[in-house]
Amino acid sequence: MHLRAALFLFWICALVHADEAILSFGILNQQSPQLTAERWNPIFRYLSEQTGLRFQLRMGANVQATNAMMQAGEFDLLFSNHNFRPEYDGTYRVIARWGNAPIFGVIAVRDDSPLRQLSELEGRRVAYPSVHALVAYAVPKQALRKAGIHEVEVMAANQEGGLAQLDSRQVDAVAVNSRYLSQYAARKGLRYRELYTSGPYPDLAVSVHPRVPRDKVVAIQQALLKMRQDPTAAALLEANQFPGFFPAGEADYLSVRKAYKLVRD
């Protein structure tokens, strides 16, 4: 009986230990959960092989839900730039960046659209992913307001949804992240024309919650940076049109913080 109790206790402890080893990785809602999983689960498998840690994809049903989970500290790691908004800033710490090229806020139309100038968007339907987005909402919205243009907002839940609405002619234009726009166009064959392109911003960051032990943070960071130089990850990177992760820190996102603050002001 004592042996059974001991074995049962060992089994429970092992389960608890296993659960503690799973790191929740929050991903910003840029596309559907299915497409997000298709992109990120292979990355998580690579990180697991390199670090011995386990990772679990987590995201809310929409951007607002994911932001609320982030604010509550439910993620051990995070892929987003919404954490730089003033109301969320100060918890997660940057350890890497997706790609090394900047991204731009873009307002695009189909290439067969009669619209040729930004001023022609007055009263037109423009799709946005959410009011929380930086380069796909705050930045283009500021450009439209500065030009005195008042469009009809159409919230599409994520960038994939906004581009799909443009592709199917449900909206006249879409506000989107330049990287996501080019990737969607290559995948779906969308032909488009840019009416507006913002200045450069750093691409989304991988950030970590302070509760994650430093040795794990170092191991994860090293594995992230190794991907783009590892021949075994070449097929994974190519399949995702992905240049790999690059070194980054808090100072690299000062422009993002400033842009969010300007919008609030």
pLDDT tens per residue, range 235-256: 888 887 788 999 999 999 999 9
Cβ contact 122:145 at 8 Å: no
pLDDT of residue 9: 40
DSSP 6-43: HHHHHHHHHHHHHHHTEEEEEE--SS-HHHHHHHHHHH
- pTM exceeds cut of 0.85: no
pLDDT of residue 15: 42
Which helix H or strand E contains 201, and what residues bound it?
Answer: strand 192-201
pLDDT of residue 208: 98
pLDDT of residue 264: 60
The residues near 100 (Cβ < 8 Å, ≥ 6 apart) are: 243, 246
- Averages of pLDDT over runs of 10 residues in the chain (265 residues) are 42 44 93 91 96 97 94 97 93 96 96 97 97 92 94 94 97 96 94 97 96 98 96 88 92 92 69
pLDDT of residue 239: 83
For CA atoms 184, 185, 189, 192, the dihedral sign is positive
Give the residue from 101, 134, 102, 108 showing the smallest Cα distance to 28.
134
Cβ contact 220:47 at 8 Å: yes
Q: Distance between CA atoms of 208 and 96, rounded to whole angstroms?
A: 10
- Token pair in block for residue 129: 């992913």
Q: How many contiguous H segments (helices) and E segments (strands) does the chain have?
A: 9, 11
Single-letter residue type at 152: V
Sequence-ordered alpha helix ranges (H) in 52-208: 63-71, 139-146, 159-167, 178-188
pLDDT of residue 217: 98
Single-letter residue type at 225: L
